[in-house]
Amino acid sequence: MSKTHLTEQKFSDFALHPKVIEALENKGFHNCTPIQALALPLTLANRDVAGQAQTGTGKTMAFLTSTFHYLLSHPVPENRQVNQPRALIMAPTRELAVQIHSDAEPLAQSTGLKLGLAYGGDGYDKQLKVLESGVDILIGTTGRLIDYAKQNHINLGAIQVVVLDEADRMYDLGFIKDIRWLFRRMPPVTQRLNMLFSATLSYRVRELAFEQMNNAEYVEVEPEQKTGHRIQEELFYPSNEEKMRLLQTLIEEEWPDRAIIFANTKHRCEDIWGHLAADGHRVGLLTGDVAQKKRLRILEEFTRGDLDILVATDVAARGLHIPLVTHVFNYDLPDDCEDYVHRIGRTGRAGESGHSISLACEDYALNLSAIETYIGHSIPVSKYKTEALLSELPPPKRLTRSRPGNGPRRNGGASRGNRRRTG
């Protein structure tokens, strides 16, 4: 982490359980981020917390540190059964649940607490086998959690800690009834530590906190600007006919180490993937139609650097903790202003710099005014010359005939300097 991203507050300054401190220091975590410095004094005093912070500010480690400390510092409930986890962490998407589980593993190894993971799509029996052996901390999506609970594979009667991550996204995806169903099967709010984290603490999120938390303390880390000051934003106005050529020219010109391209529909994402794959880029596709095992594999390949580009719908816009994303391309300007912030928040994280490039085409340029009003500033405009765009590009690959990421990276280095844009 960059020092500019951290506070002077150290984890070792808090009365955290020694095993938690050991795990954090082994992973190189010494100083707190602002949200961690605000939340930990409250959770260590057994106070409920509803926290707001921009993505990439360390809120996951804030609630994981609090959860592990609480379980290590409090006795196991009497007569607890093997199917009763002590902590439940709920996430809106399986990708986020998997990421939280991955972040929790070093703490679990150091402390001896057992982790469980529950998400839909696949892996039902594999997940169930882990649960049947008994877990201390269960991380999952609401649908699969309810499925296991209804079949008595898990019982929430011994929950001591509950975390709701990306609460606003839970509302957006229509999961609020599921959340309330799960809460009703837990001990009363006064008998557990409750944490809620959200990119925005809207009225409906605060209402949920009032219902399901015990006089929660609200902590907020307000960014200097909604889009983060380390993100360089740039905007182009292409015609629909030139939009794909402009994207491919920009990729050749920028030569990003790791980029995410967002589009508004799965069909548009598939089209973008087809053009880039045909052009020789190492590119993966992430939409709701991609099978679960394949989604996880693509994310792993992108995180490892086996893929340079990920084309995604907004299913991937929140919660994914992918380090060192250098560029975000908004092939389509989103209809929802918040989605713009969440998309470009994939880059410029944890003190790193990033570059966001948006294409305001004929179909979506009308969204720009609302986006700029929401973020509080105009996005700098760059111009391009039509004659400088790539031409004679190969026809796009069809998704059914090839797999993302098989081709070598296009070797465009020799001609990059001849396609510089103006403005």
> What integer pLDDT is reported at residue 11 of this predicted model?
95
- In-domain check, residue 225: no
Query: What average pLDDT score do residues 29-33 get?
Result: 92
Least confident of 136-145, 207-216, 372-381, 412-421: 412-421
- In-domain check, residue 341: yes
- Identify whether residues 214 and 236 lie together within a single domain: no
> What integer pLDDT is reported at residue 166 of this predicted model?
87
pTM passes above 0.85 = no
From 161, 188, 220, give the residue that closes a domain: 220
- Identify whether residues 22 and 171 lie together within a single domain: yes
- Identify whether residues 215 and 273 lie together within a single domain: no
- Whether pLDDT at 225 is above 60: no
CATH number at residue 404: 3.40.50.300
> What integer pLDDT is reported at residue 57 of this predicted model?
79
- In-domain check, residue 249: yes
From 191, 220, 249, give the residue that closes a domain: 220
- Identify whether residues 297 and 276 lie together within a single domain: yes
From 200, 220, 240, give the residue that closes a domain: 220
> What integer pLDDT is reported at residue 55 of this predicted model?
65
> What integer pLDDT is reported at residue 53 of this predicted model?
74
- In-domain check, residue 200: yes
Q: What is the pLDDT of residues 335-344, one digit of tens each?
A: 988 889 888 8
Q: What is the pLDDT of residues 278-301, one digit of tens each?
A: 999 999 998 877 777 888 888 889
- Whether pLDDT at 156 is above 80: yes
For the chain, percent of residues with pLDDT exceeding 70: 89
Integer Cα distance of 14 and 30 in angstroms? 11
At 236, the pLDDT band (50, 70, 90 cuts) reads: very high
Mean pLDDT of the chain: 87
- Whether pLDDT at 277 is above 80: yes
- Identify whether residues 15 and 50 lie together within a single domain: yes
For the chain, percent of residues with pLDDT exceeding 90: 61
> What integer pLDDT is reported at residue 66 of this predicted model?
97
- In-domain check, residue 226: no
- Identify whether residues 241 and 192 lie together within a single domain: no
- In-domain check, residue 126: yes
> What integer pLDDT is reported at residue 155 of this predicted model?
97
- Identify whether residues 285 and 333 lie together within a single domain: yes
> What integer pLDDT is reported at residue 320 of this predicted model?
63
- Identify whether residues 288 and 381 lie together within a single domain: yes
- Identify whether residues 338 and 294 lie together within a single domain: yes
- Identify whether residues 323 and 362 lie together within a single domain: yes
- Whether pLDDT at 4 is above 60: no
- In-domain check, residue 227: no
Domain of 74 in residue numbering reads as: 3-220
Look at the chain and report how many structural domains it folds into.
2
Q: What is the pLDDT of residues 197-221, one digit of tens each?
A: 987 788 888 888 888 999 999 998 8
- In-domain check, residue 337: yes
Name the more confident of 324 and 357.
Answer: 357
- Identify whether residues 150 and 11 lie together within a single domain: yes
- Identify whether residues 257 and 199 lie together within a single domain: no
